[in-house]
Structure 1
Amino acid sequence: MKALRAELTKLTSLPGVWIAVAIGLVLPAGVTVLNASNSRSVPSADTGFRELAIGVVAAIVIGVVAISSEYLAEGEESGGSRQITTSLTAVPSRSRFLLAKTAAVAGTVGLLALISSAITLTATDLTSADVSIGTSDLPRVLGIAAYWIFSALLAAGITLVTRSGIIPLSVLIVNISVVSVSFLLTKVTRLAYYFPDLAGTHLFLRDSDGPVDLTPVAGGLVMGLWVAVIAGIGAAAFVRRDA
């Protein structure tokens, strides 16, 4: 528990995390309101939930920053050492350190996803007359939370391998917000529908127009498997090499 509290304290001390929280709370709700004011926007069963998918950028940022911050040099008063040195001095067991880090990231991102869902879906209910959000949508909200958590852990696993946030942030955020490489690859092979970002959307989206229609459970299992493999590779690299 001490290791978990320490990791939560570190997360709350990182400016990047607070920027991500602001993005996660404002971006989906803001896009929802803008879409509602657009006369060309046609409401569907996924209105509000598609906007929450955009907010996963916040989860990615938190996952990356939680790991990359460990490898940043500290101030001159600490001799320019990195945070990871201090962290492993306090928690010598690398597996316990990673477990605490993972729990802190998952808990933070999960809570953020639930709060963002409440704000965004309330905005959807208020601004879209043809859309009604009710208790029947609770499983989809939990699906959003799982999608955000998986995305954060995926980003953290990649960052464990690279030891830098530049590559995972650039690749993952561009893939989400600018051009989806996964979607483009679906034009080449149907196997691309099983990439984590596309498979995971079946956790909460219901209007699927692709040739591969996964159930929410199947989509979650596919994304979870990707996370397990990539996070496992990152953990193995972290445990075996020098800090």
Structure 2
Amino acid sequence: MTMVPVLLSEWTKVKTVRSTFITLIAAFVVTVGLGALISFFTNNNFKNLNASERANFDPTSLSFSGVFLGQLAIIVFAVLVVGNEYSTGMIRATLAAVPQRATLLLAKAVTVLALVAPVALVTAFVSFFLGQALLGSHEAHLGDPGVLRAVFGMAIYMTLIALFSLGVGFMLRKPVLSLGLLMPFFFLISPILSAVPKVKNIAHYFPDQAGSRLAAVHESTTISYGPLAGFFICLVWVVAALGIGLVLLKRRDA
């Protein structure tokens, strides 16, 4: 089977599921809203920051603070793209219609990419402009060095997280199991390990830590690499997740 009919089929399945648009809208609202709140309160309390905090202040990255929770909706969306079919048993019909497992995985990945990338791009720009407006005199401008790259980096990170979550969805198949792994990983394991001296250097290579470099303008005082390396680290996680997902798809669902 050629790619076009498979893509059309995947698009039809995704757009007819209500959770698709609910989760993507939630990702936008939470990311923009939380980033705006943090920017507002930071501006009001800027005088209380110490000298070190002011020296490392990154207004661009600050406006993207909401992605910490906003990515939750992106993860849920990507997991459900795969998990819904396994939960309902529809996956049997899908695999019968598309015997080429690589074609199926690629079609789902392209569908997720086509839906998440535009939402991520709009979310990144709206978060930036609203956040900077609320930062008042402490704002950054789109033409400042590194700022435009960071805005696009934020969108790229959200998109890569969606593809990574899709790969995990293929690996584990069940939505509850996939979310039960991804949620603790991003919201507990990564933040905790990054704060533990003996293992924090390892945690710095987790996808969310690498993604933080994509959306930052200033150099980090704790993470040794820059945005380009952060992109490739995230990309390696995505390729690994999708690659393992494809291997398991071929072995278990052959």
- CA 1:139 to 1:36, structure 2 compared with 1: closer, same or farther past 3 Å? closer
Query: In the alignment, which residue of structure 2 is the partner of 1:77?
Result: none
Rate the CA distance shift 1:207–1:54 in 2: closer, same or farther, 3 A. Answer: farther
* Counterpart pick for 2:112 among 91, 105, 113: 105
Query: Does the C-alpha gap of structure 1 residues 140 and 36 become closer, same or farther in structure 2, counting only changes over 3 Å?
Result: closer
1:138 Cα offset (Å): 2.5
Task: Kindly state the Cα deviation for residue 176 of structure 1 after the two structures are TM-superposed.
Answer: 3.6
Distance 1:133 1:57 in 2: 28
Residue 101 of structure 1: CA displacement? 0.5
Aligned-pair CA distance for 1:208: 5.2
| Structure 1 Cα separation of the partners of residues 34 and 243 of structure 2 | 35
Find the residue that maps to 2:20 and give its secondary structure: helix
User: Structure 2 matches for 1:51-130, cutoff 5 A?
Assistant: 51-73=66-88, 82-129=89-136, 130=138
Identity of paired residues, percent? 27
**Structure 1: distance between partners of 2:108 and 2:250:** 14
SS at match of 1:63: helix
SS at match of 1:212: coil
| Number of equivalences | 233
CA separation of 1:227/1:242 partners in 2, compared to 1, >3 Å: closer, same or farther?
same
Q: Which residue of 1 aligns with 2:192?
A: 184
Change in 2 beyond 3 A, CA 1:209/1:143: closer
- How far apart in 1 are the matches of 2:30 and 2:233? 27
Q: Pick from 160, 166, 183 the counterpart of residue 150 of structure 1.
A: 160
Q: C-alpha displacement at 1:174, in angstroms?
A: 3.9
Structure 1 residue 159: deviation in Å?
1.5
Return the letter of the residue paired with 2:164. L
Cα distance in 2 between the residues matched to 1:223 and 1:99: 18
Measure, in 1, the Cα distance between the counterparts of 2:230 and 2:118: 21
Q: Match for 2:222: what amino acid?
A: P
Contact 2:124 2:152 in 1 (8 A): no
Are 1:141 and 2:151 an aligned pair? Answer: yes
TM-score (norm 1): 0.86
Structure 2: gaps spanning 5 or more residues: 50-56
Q: Which residue number corresponds to residue 8 of structure 1? A: 11
User: 1:27 offset after TM fit, Å?
Assistant: 0.5
**Distance apart, 1:89 and its partner CA:** 3.1
Q: Deviations over 1:146-168 (max 9, x none)?
A: 21122112111112121111122
User: What is the CA deviation profile of residues 219-242 of structure 1, one whole-angstrom value per residue up to 9, with x for unaligned ones?
Assistant: 111121122112211110001212
Instruction: Please state how far the C-alpha of 1:209 moved relative to its aligned partner.
Output: 4.4
Q: Does 21-30 or 87-96 show the bigger shift?
A: 87-96
1:167-182 correspondence runs (5 A): 167-177=177-187, 179=188, 181-182=189-190
Aligned to 1:40: 45
State the one-letter code of the partner of 2:191.
Answer: F
Contact 1:125 1:132 in 2 (8 A): yes
TM-fit CA distance, 1:111: 1.1
Decide which moves more: 61-70 or 39-48. Answer: 39-48
Structure 1, gaps ≥5 residues long: 74-81
Given residue 234 of structure 2, which amino acid in structure 1 is its aligned partner? M
